[in-house]
Amino acid sequence: MNDAEPAKTLDCVGLFCPMPLLQTRKSISSVVVGEILELLADDPGAESDIKRFCKRTGHELISYEKLDDGVQRFLIRRLK
């Protein structure tokens, strides 16, 4: 668990592919470079989509965890 404080939380629980990815792409630009976006999603495809998104766009995936309720929590630092 990383104690980095998110500047914004994006709740995509209940949304399915490609919505968590599209919402993340849109929301990452709403935080300042260096700040963190927290993404909550329960779409099974979100893990691979978001990891690929970070790698492709150059943003840093600080942490990824699966919570007890089936929700996945991503902390993404905007780097550009």
Provide the CATH topology of domain 8-77: Translation Initiation Factor IF3 (3.30.110)
pLDDT of residue 42: 97
Domain residue extents for the chain: 8-77
The residue among 7, 8, 39, 47 whose CA lies nearest residue 23 is 39
The rounded mean pLDDT for the chain is: 94
Q: What is the pTM of this model?
A: 0.92
d(CA 33, CA 79): 5
For residue 2, pLDDT over 90 is answered with no
Give mean pLDDT, residues 12-24. Answer: 96
Active site residues: 17
Predicted confidence (pLDDT) per residue in 31-63, tens digit: 999 999 999 999 999 999 999 999 999 999 999
pLDDT band at 67 (very low <50, low <70, confident <90, very high): very high
